[in-house]
Amino acid sequence: MKPQRIGGVVTAALLSACAYGGANPSADAASPCREGAGGAPRPAPGLALSAARTVLVTPAVADRFEQQAAALLQRELRRATGVTDGFAIVAEKDADEAAGGFVLAIGRTRWGDAKRLETLWQDGFIIRRTNDTLIIAGGKPRGTLFGAVRFLDRYCGVRFYLPDPLFTSCPESPHGLPTVIDVVEEPFVRATSMSGSLPVPGYSDRWLVPIAGDTRTGLAGTHQHNMGQAFPPARHASVRPEIYPLVKDARYIPSDAADQKWNPCFSEPKLLDAAEEYAVEYYRAHPDHLWCSLAIQDSSVMCECPRCLAFIAPHVRRDAVLGRVAGYSEMYWRFMNTLAARLETNLPGRRIEGLAYAMTRVPPPFKLHRNIVVFANLHIAELDADGILTAGDDGVSRLDRWLDVAAEFGNHDWHQGNGYLIPRIYSGYWSRFLRHLKGRVAFTYQHAETYPNFGLDGAKAYVLAQMWWNPDVDPAAVWRQFCADMFGPAASPMFDYFAMLEALWTSLDNVEGPERKLSRWSTQFVTSEKDRATLRRCRELLDEAAALARAGNEKKRVELFSKTFRMSEYLFEFAAAPSISAARIEEAKRHAREAILPDPLTLYPAMRSQAVIDAAIAAAVGTKSVR
């Protein structure tokens, strides 16, 4: 039978005690898996696998990811089948003694097909059943962990949406394994990174690892703002001062490697020598990395030496507004092309990475070297407002302009909750963006600044991880599964609620404006009457869900989203009201103190601050009459 190659959904998995040293939720009556209508414990549904007769076999010398996969499977299979022991983990050398039952072979064991695994990207995996043996193995050991997570999702109904046991799903009815399983999966997005994951007390802050939201670790370093590390003044200031910028007729020598107030002189030949030395040393220290970054600083300060000014002059004459950016951008990418060509001798096939950001954001009028990785900073939240996929006057979109010149492409998105006290769900935009990418490239790299406000945005990081793995995944279907798993009879209004939040963000930020910039409280809560009608409908849906949800965990989940959204409602209300009562303002502050600040799942820690919320309230109230 031909393998079934499915670019399907890899679901989240909590980091168990045996995996990362976090808490290990027990399978008692308080577990989300054990509670039914009215909060009463229900018998755990059974799986076809027998706990007593199924052994989990790991390689004789198991990698840490293979060990984590085995521990995760053991814990979740026990919990799903309602047992406290069984599903023994044995090393391959002891597997014969445990024969006679069902073997779940994890990683590179004798049951696997080594040649087949060699064809996979390292984070891909196979799941294959032959008679009484089921194999879960990755291209490399981390892929085995992803395969274990996928197995739990697809065949056991076990899903972990947030880093808390309250958001763990379990099967509602018995599951059996199909007679034939032959699945092969590989991720579309490689070297993924979601920065700012939220540590929940009792759990590791590495909760993104199993959903493939943090696969950059071990594959690459930074992709941004590292000229200070590439050209530290302690090393170069005395011997190569020319590589630093001439600004207002004075040479700017950075105070240290962390200084961001500069960018090097990209027309200086000595910069190529210094960059080549840096790349050679970088790959000597990190031989397995996918790229060496030479990304510009978080600054628009550029060199004004005669060579640089002469280079950008024609661009400035053509466009007095954007010409300076276009000129410096072309100069930077010419520098990168020249460097990549030079490195072919000493480092053949090694990539360097450049950042299309600020003064380097304009695509050059030439193809980039095949060993250059481009990271753009396209804001997916403003997909329509910024025209990222909209054809310009030349018939080419902003994204396609980069794809036309770049051999390998990545993007950095501001996906965060940090800096926001309103919901920001735009899964549909992500789907459009990723599907367009998939139509142009074989794979991509992605980074999202996450810093999650779980109580506002729910499972949006989880949904994004599914689309990073496979852009063909329907985000609405993932949201619907989340609601079905978490809210039972309240699933329908909760799905509609999250869909309304996505419609609200599109209206606020892409249609009506202003753009909702992070921490800009003066404009973040501005609404139209249409938006306020959407807000009222969101509250109606939450109230409907609260009435339908069964007592216990379903009620708790609805309450998390209800109380967190209430904070946003206060702020939207204050910004729209002609006048506000002092009592209402105090009510909002009391809600923050009593309902928001104590719960780590409501807002990102930096937002879960009375001072921040008070500042947002003050900005929303502004100069209005307080009665």
pLDDT digits (tens, 9 = 90+) for 294-304: 999 999 999 99
Query: For the stretch 428-445, what's the b/e string if a residue is b when 16 or more beta carbons lie within 10 angstroms of its beta carbon?
Result: bbbbbbbebbbeeeebbb
Domain carrying residue 116: 4-192
As to burial, measured by CB atoms within 10 angstroms (0-12 exposed, 13-18 middle, 19+ buried), residue 616 is: buried
Q: Are residues 157 and 246 in the same domain?
A: no
In the chain, the amino acid numbered 424 is: R
More confident residue, 48 or 515: 515
Domain closes at, from 348, 376, 396: 396
For residue 258, name the pLDDT band (cuts at 50, 70, 90).
very high
Is the residue at 129 inside a domain? yes
**For range 455-480, the mean pLDDT:** 97
Is the residue at 517 inside a domain? yes
For residue 127, name the pLDDT band (cuts at 50, 70, 90).
very high
Output the CA–CA distances (angstroms, integers) from residue 523 to 502, 526, 580, 584, 620, in the order listed: 19, 6, 18, 21, 8
The Cα–Cα gap between 52 and 142 comes to 27
Residue position matching structure tokens 């599109």: 506
Is the residue at 503 inside a domain? yes
- Say which range, 99-113, 406-420, 517-531, 542-556, has the weakest mean pLDDT: 99-113
Domain closes at, from 379, 396, 413: 396
**pLDDT tens column, 160-188:** 898 888 898 886 655 678 888 999 999 99
Q: Are residues 503 and 375 in the same domain?
A: no
Is the residue at 469 inside a domain? no
Q: Are residues 156 and 21 in the same domain?
A: yes
Q: Are residues 495 and 373 in the same domain?
A: no
Residue position matching structure tokens 């310009």: 392
**pLDDT tens column, 59-89:** 999 999 999 999 999 998 998 888 999 999 9
Q: Is 501 helix (H, G, I), strand (E, B) or coil?
A: helix
**For range 356-363, the mean pLDDT:** 97
Q: Are residues 175 and 300 in the same domain?
A: no
Beta bridge partners of 44: none
Q: Is 356 left (phi over 0), alpha (psi -120 to 50) or beta?
A: beta
Q: Are residues 176 and 37 in the same domain?
A: yes
Give me the chain's average pLDDT, please: 89
* Residue 544 predicted with pLDDT over 60: yes
Q: How many domains does one find in the chain?
A: 3
Domain closes at, from 334, 365, 396: 396
Is the residue at 356 inside a domain? yes
* Residue 205 predicted with pLDDT over 90: no
Q: Are residues 521 and 621 in the same domain?
A: yes
Q: Are residues 168 and 45 in the same domain?
A: yes
Output the CA–CA distances (angstroms, integers) from residue 555 to 25, 167, 543, 598, in the order listed: 20, 12, 11, 18
| Dihedral sign computed on CA atoms, order 459, 558, 33, 181 | negative
Q: Are residues 292 and 344 in the same domain?
A: yes
Any idea what the CATH number is for the domain that residue 36 is in? 3.30.379.10
DSSP letter for each residue of 20-57: HS------STTSGGGB-GGG-B-PPPPBSS-TTTEEEE
Q: What is the per-residue pLDDT for 255?
A: 94
Q: Are residues 78 and 155 in the same domain?
A: yes
Q: Are residues 145 and 267 in the same domain?
A: no
Is the residue at 454 inside a domain? no
Token digits of residue 55: 């052994």
pTM: 0.91
Query: 232 preceded by cis ω (within 30°)?
Result: no
Is the residue at 424 inside a domain? no
* Residue 356 predicted with pLDDT over 60: yes
Q: What is the per-residue pLDDT for 200?
A: 55
Is the residue at 238 inside a domain? yes
Q: Are residues 244 and 358 in the same domain?
A: yes
